Structure 1
């Protein structure tokens, strides 16, 4: 037996995989719902250049979830409250990208510090602490699933309602404002929706790696298509594949879910980037090649 084989056997164990698969039915359902909203919200995160905002919101979401864990209340609710608070502050203070990034830079260490403080005061299971940072969806119970699905439905409905005007405002805010589109109101509303999406995504991959669910799938899809139909469709497919694949791999492993979700998501991005680069080179060579007389 080689060293690699020994490490593989320590990490993976699929002896009772069929029996364990029944126990994660709630996780698979919740993962599909979170992949849907993460993939859709990520489109506007990429269009509006908000990846840094996602990370800032996740830090306050982590603080809210940690406070709920310490107080013995619903962790999902605590995460949502923290996310919405951060999103409101960013939306109110960050009218320009420069101001927004400064506000986020102030919020991030504050939220992370609060979260660490609350976890230090918490005397319960260490797995609960670790799960807030790296994700713990493999053991989602029925009440928590109901919260996740209900909030996902709210996010999905809000995105459907604002999709067309938000797309216009994201692509060209000046022209959209001149046409009567409420750009500022849409921006604030989207930040609230983004706060909900981030809070739910934290439940999957944890506060430290939430970008891999809300940003990476949309960024990967944008490398291979600009179609208004294919772009959100591919983003959702990539997000769902990353979550569901991460759950299924983590089920037969001793590692948490986040390394698998991030690896699958990153792998999809690398493939899409390669495909997009090759396609651009082919189109460039065709454009510069001499035409026959």
Structure 2
């Protein structure tokens, strides 16, 4: 009984659970739409931007989170402004990766040589420091992540419609472009929060793996959205427990190992049939078709 109670007496673990649970839930919700809208590569781009933004803030003497949120949200909105060229052509995103990463290395060098005597800032940004969060940082992270999740749920219905059939949603008066900007801003905020949990280098796994597993296992959107959120939180808990049980194991690695294992299991249990990445599956297509028939104006 003492052994089981010991972990919950550790403040650093309780802070990690508080912040990590909210961050994982937000990433699970946001990631589901990233996978559905075939924008997973956007999350990869934001991981590079998060590293550079965080190190730029530190080098200039500002709080790390200011650089994280400013850089990731601005980059996400920029990708939204590119429209279809940024969504369909991977070169638009991939061509700036090396430059952005090199800029981050420059800011890291500037920070370590002029503002810090310690060289672990880059490691913390790259791989996360969820066990190093203070009580105040954990509460702030949990509140921001909860706000991201609630805002996404508020736009989930029209966003789902726009994601599955953009042309019909536009014809029905859904503000597709505005929804796209709002969604990408939430992606940027979730990426900034995920950087504190698993690091900029690994945040894509927390955004994509639970959502990918949920889309393989769930038959319809809303259960899939809930399953993606539940898987992300469960994988984070499992990763924290594994990292606590094995002191030499980094928590970010443990979390992503659990996420990858769950995705691999989902892939083995229910392999997905090949289809176009932006085309809804049979169940979703049937639902949309039935909705169109019901809402179509009848001839007098």
The two structures share one fold, judged by TM-score above 0.5: yes
Q: Tell me what 1:285 maps to.
A: none
Spell out, residue by residue over 1:2-39, the C-alpha distance to the aligned partner (whole angstroms, 9 max, x if none). xxxxxxxxxxxx9x964873332111100000111000
Query: What is the aligned length?
Result: 267
4+ residue runs of structure 1 moved beyond 4 angstroms? 97-100
Of the three residues 134, 137, 142, the one matched with 2:130 is 137
Q: Is the 8 A contact 1:39 1:217 kept in 2?
A: yes
Q: Structure 1 81/187 Cα, relative in aligned 2: closer, same or farther at 3 Å?
A: same
Q: Is the contact made by 2:216 and 2:272 (CA closer than 8 Å) also made in structure 1? A: no
Match status 1:261 vs 2:255: yes
CA pair 99-227 structure 1, distance change in 2 beyond 3 A: closer
- How far residue 130 of structure 1 moved from its aligned partner, in angstroms, is 0.5
Q: 1:284 maps to what in 2?
A: none
1:272 to 266, 289, 298: 266
* Structure 2: stretches of 5+ with no match in the other structure: 274-300
**Counterpart for residue 147 of structure 1:** 140
Partner of 2:151: 158
Change (3 A) 1:237 1:148: same
Shift of 1:205: 1.2
1:224 maps to what in 2?
217
Corresponding position of 2:97: 108
Q: Does the 8 Å CA contact 2:47/2:191 hold for their aligned counterparts?
A: yes
For residue 240 of structure 1, the aligned residue among 214, 233, 237 is: 233
Q: What SS does the corresponding residue of 2:173 show, helix, strand or coil?
A: coil
Shift in Å at residue 100 of structure 1?
5.1
Residue in structure 1 matching 2:65, options 63, 68, 76: 76
What CA distance in whole angstroms lies between the structure 2 residues aligned with 1:157 and 1:171? 21
What is the Cα deviation at residue 98 of structure 1?
A: 6.0
Report the CA distance shift for 1:178/1:104 in structure 2 as closer, same or farther (over 3 A): same
SS for the counterpart of 1:202 is helix
Cα deviation code 1:29-85 (max 9, x no counterpart):
000001110000011001110111111112111111112222343212211111011
Tell whether the 8 Å contact from 1:34 to 1:201 is kept in structure 2 after alignment.
yes
Moved more, 147-156 or 94-103: 94-103
- Secondary structure of the corresponding residue to residue 208 of structure 1: coil
Question: Which ranges of structure 1 fall in alignment gaps of 5 or more residues?
Answer: 1-13, 280-293
Residues in 1 aligned to 2:86 and 2:51: alpha-carbon distance in whole angstroms:
24
CA RMSD of aligned residues (A): 2.4
Decide whether aligned partners of structure 1 residues 254 and 69 sit closer, same or farther in structure 2, where only a CA change above 3 A counts: farther
